[in-house]
Structures are given as structure tokens and as C-alpha cells.
Amino acid sequence: MPSNARATSLTRRGILAAGGALGLGAVLAACGDGDKKDAGSASASAKSGSWEFKDDRGQTVKTKATPKNIVAFTGTAAALKDFGVEVTGVFGPTYVEDPKTKAKKPDVQAGDLDITKVKVIGNVWGEFNIEEYLKLQPEVLITDMWEKDALWYVPEEQKDKILKIAPSVALWAAGKSMPSVLQRHADLAASLGADVNSEQVKKDKARFEAAAERLRKVAQGKKDIKVLIGSGDPNTFYVSTPVRPTDTLFFQELGINLVVPTKLDPSGWFELLSWENVDKYKADVILLDNRTGTLQPEQLKAKPTWAALPAVKAGQVFPRVTEPVYSYAKCAPLLEDLAAALENAKKVS
């Protein structure tokens, strides 16, 4: 679920992707042979000097050499780093600044990026410094895609100028199950020269697969536990539909019983509830958007209707990584944490 500002902005653009506080849906299989062929040809061309990659828009990007000066959406950059690819610049939530000391710490979406070593050309929605982007001499721009052909965190009003500077690559961050999306990020990293068969990546993938199997078994024994995916701002509580985001789609495949809102907003991503009606859906567990800008449990204590929810009173509210970093290293813990939460969850609704 998006933060309040992002939700409003996304609604206006018709995207409203914002990871939908744990809503997924349309169960889609992992990447097919076509994707593997694309990745293979990209990797081969990289070795021969030229580079090409077919992205999830269906566009084939070609350059004379494998890109080194890469500028990417922060979460995508963090995923590429885990696979072994470094970027030059980033845009999107990268750091949080202490209002008193002005010290910067990594945003939750920055993963293991060293935020002191990448150029941040935009840190909030709608911010993209084209002059700084030009100075980086980018060879490729890489970002997520929540809606077809909509480039995540690339401002619509600046898009035409930005896309003239360097070719772009977009990978789905919605509408496909998490394993499929992970594979596509691995494919891209491989095309850029990363060793995605390294011992570390194989270890991370094995951990992810083990976590998925654990979560599947937990779900089988907890079919009566209702899980709600939510996000809050001062005026609204968003209940995500489990039919689009990659993580919840995968959770559904694994058998988790997710709340399905019945009255979605025009974007089709979530239902907007007033705080007076926050108890509309019965839930035993709440997965709450952890992104910067959304209300967290400590802040929500001031909302009496929130405090009265059975899941809240039972202490069964857990953070949800709404916009995952799509590497095995970062997604495995998400599954492990959810499995642990459900293993100890009790029926309270």
C-alpha cells in the first residue's frame, strides 16, 4: 500500500501501484523459456562486446557495449547489487534525513546500497534532477513497472526528455508472482555481466526456496487465519487487494488466506476506508506497509478504532515490505518473517 502522498499521486496517474500493502492476485507462473532465451542472448552479446536485453515492455534495448554507467530506481539498484551489479546513480526513496541533525540513513528500499557512493538524483515521488542525470553520462536507465509502460518514479512530465538521454529498461513489479520477477532481475543482472551462478547467489536462492516451502506448510495448517494487507495515513486506511502485487500473489499461491476487499477504488489496487470504518474486514493478522511516509504501529496508537482491532489487541500486526528488493537475498527473509508470524498467530476475529 502506498504512503498517503504516493497514493494520491498514483491515483491521479492511474497507477496506484505502490505495492498495495500486501495485495497480490493473478497467479502467474515463473518466467517461461522466452525470458530465458532473452537473457541468454543478452549475456552472449555482452561477452561479444555489444549488449541487448528484452525488457518486460517487450522492447529490446541495444547498446554498443555492456552498460557500466547505470542509473536505476533505488529498489532495482539494490536488487542488482545483490546479484553483483553496481550502479552509478539512483532515483526513488534512498535515504531518510534526521530533521535535527540532517544525518542521512538508508531508506528501507535501499537494501545494501552504500548511499554515500551513489549519486541520488531524486529521493521522493516526482523528483528527478535531469541536469545531474546528464552529468552521470548514463548508458541505461532501469526501473520497475507497476502498470504497462509506466516507468516507476520517472516523472510523467519529464519522461520524454529523460528517455532521450539514454535507453531504458523496465521490469514488472506487479501482476506476476515473486519467483518470476526474481528470475527476471537475475536475467538482467546476468546480461550486465554478473555471475548469477555464484556460490552466494545459489545460497540465497536455496534459502528463498526453503522459506517458500516453510510458508507453504505453515499456510496449510493455518487456513482459518485471515491476513489483511493494509497501509495508513492520517485520514485513510488502505486495504490492498491480493490480486496484483508480486508478493501477495505468491502468498496466495502458497495458500495463505488473504482478505479480499470488495469495493476497490478506480485504480483497482485497494479499498479506501475511513478510520471510523477500519473494522470493516475481520482479520487475525495485519501486515502493515513499512515504507517511509506511512503510519507505523507506534503512530497508529492514537487511532482508537485501530487500537480496538482484534489483531492489534492480540499483538498480531507485522511489517510488510510493500516494495520488495527483488533479489533472493532480500526476499527470503520476507517469507521467513511471515512464516514465523503465522506459526504463532491465533484466531482472534
Q: Which residues of 326-338 are buried (b: 16+ CB within 10 A; e: fewer)?
A: bbbbbbbebbbbb
E-strand spans in 266-346? 270-274, 285-289, 317-320
Per cent of the chain over pLDDT 70 is 86
Look at residue 45 and tell me whether its pLDDT is greater than 50. Answer: no
pLDDT tens, position by position, 203-257: 999 999 999 999 999 999 999 999 999 999 999 999 999 988 999 999 999 999 9
Query: In angstroms, rounded to a whole number, what is the distance separating the alpha carbons of residues 310 and 259?
Result: 15
For residue 48, what pLDDT band results from cuts at 50, 70 and 90? low
Per cent of the chain over pLDDT 90 is 80
Q: Are strands 285-289 and 60-63 parallel, antiparallel or unpaired?
A: unpaired
**Cell numbers representing residue 157 in the block:** 512530465
Identify the weakest region by mean pLDDT among 29-33, 62-66, 84-88, 208-212: 29-33
Look at residue 1 and tell me whether its pLDDT is greater than 70. Answer: no
Task: Name the DSSP class of 308.
Answer: T
For residue 22, what pLDDT band results from cuts at 50, 70 and 90? very low
Mean pLDDT, to the nearest integer, of 93-100? 90
pLDDT of residue 153: 97
Look at residue 16 and tell me whether its pLDDT is greater than 80. Answer: no
pLDDT of residue 249: 94
Mean pLDDT, to the nearest integer, of 302-322? 95
Mean of pLDDT over the chain? 87
Mean pLDDT, to the nearest integer, of 57-74? 97
pLDDT of residue 102: 87
User: Who has greater pLDDT, 295 or 26?
Assistant: 295
- H/E stretch holding 306 reads helix 304-307
pLDDT of residue 268: 87
pLDDT tens, position by position, 70-79: 999 999 999 9
Q: What is the DSSP string of 180-230?
A: HHHHHHHHHHHHTT--TTSHHHHHHHHHHHHHHHHHHHHHHH-TT--EEEE
pLDDT of residue 280: 97
For residue 73, report the phi and psi dihedrals to the nearest 5 degrees: -55, 140
Q: Which residues neighbour 218 within 8 Å (Cβ) at sequence distance 6 or greater?
A: 339, 342, 343
Mean pLDDT, to the nearest integer, of 305-323? 95
